[in-house]
Structure 1
Amino acid sequence: MLFAVGVFCLAAIAAFLLRSEYEKEQLSREDIVLKSEKIIKDHRILFLSDLHNHQFGTGNQRLLDAVDLINPDLILVGGDMLVSKGSADTSISLKLFKTLASRYPVIYGNGNHENRMSWNPEVYGNQYEEYKNSLKRLGVKVLEDKTELFAQDLAVTGIDLEYRFYKNFQREELTREQIEKKVGNADKDRFQILLCHSPLYFRGCRAWGADLTLSGHFHGGTIRLPVLGGVMTPQYQFFNPYCGGTFETDDRYMIVSRGLGTHSINIRFNNKPQLVVVDLKRKT
């Protein structure tokens, strides 16, 4: 009896791991339509986040093909496109953006893995500056507590969160005043988008004036369960409701991408890598 139970458990674990390996290579797409009186002309935005150096086919060709099929007016990047854990390989990300930036406008906000290179120069040397400057030479707009205007009606702001906002087992509060001190005032006339890597701070982001906050960081909760949602965040918070999806409060929105890759916990279950397509339309 015990032998049979053991065999069943091993088979279940093997099936789980095989399913996870399969899912990590399957790109999914989520389409979201948002309407606002601030929008003058319709825009299709593609939001990419948390690639963590993953490659969908040689040179990320399957990812590039999927982007071309979407044909966005603008690509927004939510950070963590690489992995920095004692060392950082920026080559995969730079190769991807060399192609993307030759085809589409790209605006890039940092995540904790990009910021870690600047937090720890004794480990990474000048890698962050080299990476940032390489992106800029490719035509990518890199936001470090800055705002970039797009078309006549969009303002895109990227905020660099400090290390304390990513600590495990705890949560800091990010207030409107703190955001204003870092990035200035929200644009009240344009549709204001805020790239804030962690979704824990939606309250502060919408109080600041973000019409749309775009976040990632939680990788969809690693394992997603029916009704309960994502199981665990990278900061070891369990069943956090902000692991992925679209949230709305007082006509202000946050979209949390489930991301494209993994790193330390290299598992995805019921949680395929995600391309987020946001169609912004004028409210009539």
Structure 2
Amino acid sequence: MISEILITGIAVGITYKFLKREATTLEKIEYNIEDEKIPKEFDNYKILQISDLHNKTFGKGNIKLIEEIDKINPDIIVITGDLVDGEKDNFKVALDLIDYISCKYKVVHVVGNHEQKSLNKKYKKEYKEYFRLLKDKDIIDLDNDKIKVNKGSSYINLYGVVVPLEYYPYFFSNYRNKNKALDKNFMDESLGKIDKNSYNILLAHNPFFFENYSNWGADLVLSGHVHGGIVRIPKIGGVLSPNREFFPKYDLGEYNLNGSKMILSKGLGGSKVVIRINCKPEIVQINLKSKK
């Protein structure tokens, strides 16, 4: 009996250490994106994508994350939502990280469902203060908006779309909206007509509307939200989805649709489910390549 308890305890301890290491070992994933619309001046332009931090830290003061960012030395950093966790009132982690990276790099931000959800929860007052402080930081918040990113005499367009919270199903709210489709005019109404003569990058936390983004004309979509499926099975993919379904259509990596590409990051942290199996946290480096 004692030996069985001992063996069980050892097995639990080993499993815990494995899961902890899996959830705290940071990866850098790199993609090369080629397109004839990318200006020559943007050849080898480095974009660093941060997604779904959920207040998580990698070392004291997020030093491990900061060191990896500095190794890449990106031309721009894009944050694709859920920097904070809507279930908690701690936003110091997010603000401290933004303080550091915005002093060294151009930073562009779009909210995810957790930032939206926080404004409807018990921490509404605290998160209103968070958004007020965020506006004081040296970052660009794209709330259904766009900017031109200039380099030399050329530019690319960077858009940010906010998909309303009603399109994020939860067990106890919005679950009937699990298969709710975006209106075909949603993108035009949110961002206006796209500039088809230029290269257009869209930041969109929710990847499940890739078809809408593609039909609108996005050349490259950067997204998150799915956490890589949380548990990944080799040759099959991610098992779990925030949409409360198994084996989501979009979970991780590069997708192509009608000339549009989407890079889907598995992100850095987690909310209610914080474990990761075969799904290490990641930051994403995107290298633009001009085909001109």
Fold match (TM-score > 0.5): yes
Equivalent residue, structure 2, for 1:149: 148
Give the CA deviation at 1:198: 1.2
In the TM superposition, what whole-angstrom CA distance separates every residue of 1:141-172 from its partner, at most 9, and x where no partner exists?
01111112111322111111112210135122
Question: Percent same amino acid at aligned positions?
Answer: 33
Please give the secondary structure, in 2, of the residue aligned with 1:202: helix
> Aligned partners of 1:229, 1:44: CA distance in 2, in Å?
27
Given that residues 44 and 74 in structure 1 are in contact (C-alpha distance below 8 angstroms), is that contact kept between their aligned partners in structure 2?
yes
Unaligned runs of 5+ residues in structure 2 are none
Give the CA deviation at 1:39: 1.4
Please give the secondary structure, in 1, of the residue aligned with 2:47: strand
> Aligned partners of 2:37, 2:240: CA distance in 1, in Å?
36
Give the CA deviation at 1:12: 5.3
Between 1:100-109 and 1:126-135, the stretch displaced more is 126-135
Equivalent residue, structure 2, for 1:99: 100
Equivalent residue, structure 1, for 2:244: 236
Alignment of 1:239-278 (within 5 A): 239-278=247-286
> Aligned partners of 2:7, 2:250: CA distance in 1, in Å?
34
Equivalent AA in structure 1 for residue 16 of structure 2: L
Equivalent residue, structure 1, for 2:138: 139
Given that residues 230 and 241 in structure 1 are in contact (C-alpha distance below 8 angstroms), is that contact kept between their aligned partners in structure 2?
no
Equivalent residue, structure 1, for 2:47: 45
1:84 to 82, 86, 102: 86
1:69 to 68, 71, 93: 71
Q: Give the TM-score normalised by the residue count of structure 1.
A: 0.91
Equivalent residue, structure 2, for 1:164: 166
> Aligned partners of 2:266, 2:144: CA distance in 1, in Å?
23
Give the CA deviation at 1:102: 0.3
Equivalent residue, structure 2, for 1:181: 189
Equivalent residue, structure 2, for 1:32: 31
Give the CA deviation at 1:283: 1.1
> Aligned partners of 1:183, 1:7: CA distance in 2, in Å?
60
In the TM superposition, what whole-angstrom CA distance separates every residue of 1:234-275 from its partner, at most 9, and x where no partner exists?
222111131111101222101110000112011011111011
> Aligned partners of 1:130, 1:193: CA distance in 2, in Å?
30
Between 1:91-100 and 1:128-137, the stretch displaced more is 128-137
> Aligned partners of 1:242, 1:188: CA distance in 2, in Å?
26
Give the CA deviation at 1:60: 0.5
Given that residues 113 and 165 in structure 2 are in contact (C-alpha distance below 8 angstroms), is that contact kept between their aligned partners in structure 1?
yes
Please give the secondary structure, in 2, of the residue aligned with 1:89: coil
Q: Give the TM-score normalised by the residue count of structure 2.
A: 0.89
How many residue pairs match? The answer is 279
> Aligned partners of 1:171, 1:70: CA distance in 2, in Å?
38
> Aligned partners of 1:154, 1:132: CA distance in 2, in Å?
27
Given that residues 192 and 210 in structure 1 are in contact (C-alpha distance below 8 angstroms), is that contact kept between their aligned partners in structure 2?
yes
In the TM superposition, what whole-angstrom CA distance separates every residue of 1:203-252 from its partner, at most 9, and x where no partner exists?
01110111111111111111111111111012221111311111012221
Unaligned runs of 5+ residues in structure 1 are none
> CA 1:176/1:44 → structure 2, altered by over 3 Å: closer, same or farther?
farther
Between 1:175-184 and 1:240-249, the stretch displaced more is 175-184
